[in-house]
């Protein structure tokens, strides 16, 4: 592809390299800022084309800016991903072996859970079966904080989930590693952790909470899109991206 990467694209990429992940409204604002700073033509609705141009230049380096949804609020995000090292070895420059083992154990707990969460107590208990040097309780707490800060995990009231960055970046690894356990969302087809599950035992499809909100919005009697059984869960509200709610 011969699309030229200009200074505005380079500036966008530099910001992505520094932050790792950015939400859609942040990406839109950054797109505008980069174009205006370098006096290049700015087309608000051409963000994905703008990113495609960057991606065509990143491809030979096996990097990509990839789009994905936050399981928490349903907002789209853009993450800069390494397509060769998309497993936990990618983190080995920042974390010691035993820290990575604990992260993998946390991932096992989250993937194996019904609701895509692991409590700090469960994570602490999982260290009993560690094969590398065991971590002390205070070290585990410190490590979990770091994993949240580095945007690999998210934390809410002592419960840990895989962060949006982690899911976008490690999706191929998670699909390969947890083939039998991982399920995709029936609506958006991305892997699903925090979601609602159809209670019909012969169905059991998963739908992300934000996808549930959008899919069932305005329907008086929600039914499973796969088996048509009554959908018994509470339907969450659609959460609008920041940029839209401000207008």
Residue 208 makes contact with Zn ion by CB under 5 A? yes
Contacts 24+ apart (CB under 8 A), 234-240: 236/209, 236/210, 236/212, 237/213, 238/74, 238/210, 238/213, 238/214, 239/73, 239/74, 239/75, 239/210, 239/213
Q: Does 226 bind Zn ion (CB under 5 A)?
A: yes
Q: Is 213 in the site for Zn ion (CB under 5 A)?
A: no
> Is residue 168 close enough to count as binding Zn ion by CB under 5 A?
no
CB of 145 to Zn ion, least distance (A): 29
Binding range to Zn ion, per CB under 5 A, among 27-35, 48-56, 165-173, 220-228:
220-228
As a whole number of angstroms, the distance between CA 94 and CA 219 comes to: 47
Question: Residue 13, interface with Zn ion (CB under 5 A)?
Answer: no
Taking the complex as a whole, the smallest distance from the CB of residue 12 to Zn ion amounts, in Å, to 27
The answer to whether 224 contacts Zn ion (rule: CB under 5 A) is yes
Return the range that interacts with Zn ion (CB under 5 A); candidates 40-48, 70-78, 112-120, 204-212: 204-212
148 vs 227, beta carbon nearer Zn ion: 227
Q: Which is nearer to Zn ion, 170 or 187 (CB)?
A: 187
Establish if 76 lies at the interface with Zn ion (CB under 5 A). no
C-alpha angle with apex 101: 96 to 107, nearest 5 degrees? Answer: 125
185 binds Zn ion (CB under 5 A): yes
Is 191 an interacting residue with respect to Zn ion (CB under 5 A)? no
Stretch that binds Zn ion, among 87-95, 106-114, 160-168, 178-186 (CB under 5 A): 178-186
- Looking at beta carbons only, is 72 or 150 nearer to Zn ion? 72
Task: Report in angstroms how near the CB of residue 135 gets to Zn ion at its nearest.
Answer: 34
135 interacts with Zn ion by CB under 5 A:
no
Give me the residues that bind Zn ion (CB under 5 A), please. Answer: 185, 187-188, 198, 200, 203, 208, 211, 224, 226-227
């Amino acid at each position: 592809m011969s699309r030229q990467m200009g200074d505005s694209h380079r500036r966008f990429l530099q910001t992505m390299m520094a932050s790792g992940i950015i939400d859609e409204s942040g990406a839109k604002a950054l797109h505008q800022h980069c174009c205006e700073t370098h006096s290049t033509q700015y087309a608000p609705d051409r963000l994905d084309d703008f990113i495609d141009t960057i991606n065509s230049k990143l491809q030979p380096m096996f990097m990509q800016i990839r789009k994905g949804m936050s399981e928490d609020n349903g907002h789209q995000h853009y993450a800069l991903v390494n397509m060769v090292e998309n497993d936990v070895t990618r983190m080995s420059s920042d974390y010691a072996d035993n820290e990575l083992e604990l992260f993998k154990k946390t991932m096992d707990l989250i993937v194996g859970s019904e609701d895509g969460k692991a409590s700090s107590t469960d994570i602490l208990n999982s260290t009993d079966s560690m094969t590398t040097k065991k971590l002390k309780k205070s070290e585990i707490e410190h490590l979990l904080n770091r994993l949240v800060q580095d945007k690999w995990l998210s934390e809410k009231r002592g419960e840990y989930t895989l962060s949006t960055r982690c899911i976008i970046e490690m999706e191929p690894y998670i699909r390969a590693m947890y083939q039998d356990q991982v399920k995709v969302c029936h609506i958006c087809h991305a892997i699903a952790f925090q979601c609602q599950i159809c209670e019909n035992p012969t169905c059991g499809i998963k739908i992300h909470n934000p996808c549930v909100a959008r899919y069932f919005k305005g329907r008086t009697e929600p039914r499973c899109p796969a088996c048509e059984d009554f959908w018994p869960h509470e339907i969450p509200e659609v959460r609008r991206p920041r940029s839209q709610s401000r207008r």
